[in-house]
Amino acid sequence: MEHEASAVPAFRRAFHGRTLGALGLTNSKIVHRERFRPIAGVHHVPFPNRYRNPFNIDGYADPKALTEAVLAAVEETLDTALPPSECAAMFCEPVQGEGGYNVPPADFYPKLKKLLDAHGILLVADEVQTGFGRTGKMFAMEHFGAKASITTVAKALGSGMPIGAAVFDAKLDFAVSGAHSNTFGGNPVACAAALATIDVLKDEKLVERAAKLGPKLEKRLREIQEGSEGIGDVRGLGLMWAADWVTDTRTKAHDPETRNKVLAECYRRGLIVLPCGKSGIRFIPPLVVSEEQVDGAMDVLAEAVRAAA
């Protein structure tokens, strides 16, 4: 790019980290930003949340209308608040994690990429949580048939060893040697762990396993939803699913109180699960999980839901 582009758009309910630069992009919970002053230059636009969105569109019944509404919001931001000439890249999570495990419509990212390309803006996919088989594909963007300009990875890359990476075309690299560096970059032990992780994913076909077990996990979650008045939505991909608790299925009003009771009841029964969004619980078993373990966990969840109700 010939111009100096430093501003970036991102999505509401996004989570990209809590160091200063990433904190400017993070928008999932007020607790992440309260008492901190993230960098300026970030503009947040609505995410194509199929269950809840500011356009009052049923994203399950009419996903194309939701896609067009969000793209119009991006265009308006570029037209009124963020000059494309000053915009370096747009950040996204292919599936929002901390913000609620929100899965966009299938046509969203290809159309977003086309829009950004027209303005010379890069698309950065944060695959820290969704990458390396979690969604039933090696990377979640594969579900949508879109290719990000830059992909960020970490967490699962090292199977517990601390490592992160940004993957991009060499033409986007720094033109001057030494323009970017860090003390622990290229740690040999962490890199060895990452290479071993990739070997295990391939040799044991764990990505394919996530794709195979995903429908089973979804089926059990939907059965629990049908037997409960409090679960408003079940959503996800592969082995990355969430259930969302509401006080009223018509208004979709968040019910964090019941969600928190379910979390506690699960814990008492030996099942450790994490919240996501205002009223969701995420279900992200390890990729080596067995079918019996999935069933066992869902049995415990069903008991916990009844106890919390």
- Whether the CB-CB separation of 213 and 134 falls below 8 Å is answered with no
Q: What is the mean pLDDT of the chain?
A: 92
- pLDDT by residue (tens digit) across 65-124? 999 999 999 999 999 888 899 888 999 999 999 999 999 999 999 999 999 999 999 999
Instruction: Enter the CATH code of domain 206-308.
Output: 3.90.1150.10
The whole-angstrom separation of Cα 140 and Cα 107 is: 14
The whole-angstrom separation of Cα 74 and Cα 77 is: 5
The segment(s) of the chain belonging to CATH 3.40.640.10 are 8-153
Calculate mean pLDDT across residues 163-190: 88
Q: Which residue has the higher pLDDT, 173 or 140?
A: 140
Q: Is the confidence at residue 2, as pLDDT, over 60?
A: no
The whole-angstrom separation of Cα 48 and Cα 62 is: 11
The segment(s) of the chain belonging to CATH 3.90.1150.10 are 206-308
> What integer pLDDT is reported at residue 40 of this predicted model?
63
Q: Is the confidence at residue 27, as pLDDT, over 90?
A: no
Instruction: Enter the CATH code of domain 8-153.
Output: 3.40.640.10
Among 32-41, 200-209, 219-228, the minimum mean pLDDT is found in 32-41
The whole-angstrom separation of Cα 100 and Cα 54 is: 16
For residue 260, what are the contacts with CB-CB under 8 A and spacing of at least 6?
Answer: 275
Q: Is the confidence at residue 199, as pLDDT, over 90?
A: yes
Among 38-47, 100-109, 152-161, the minimum mean pLDDT is found in 38-47
The whole-angstrom separation of Cα 165 and Cα 194 is: 10
Calculate mean pLDDT across residues 178-201: 91
pTM over 0.85: yes
pLDDT interval class at 177 (50, 70, 90): confident
> What integer pLDDT is reported at residue 17 of this predicted model?
74
The whole-angstrom separation of Cα 146 and Cα 139 is: 11
> What integer pLDDT is reported at residue 266 of this predicted model?
98
- pLDDT by residue (tens digit) across 95-112? 999 999 999 999 999 999
The whole-angstrom separation of Cα 298 and Cα 294 is: 6
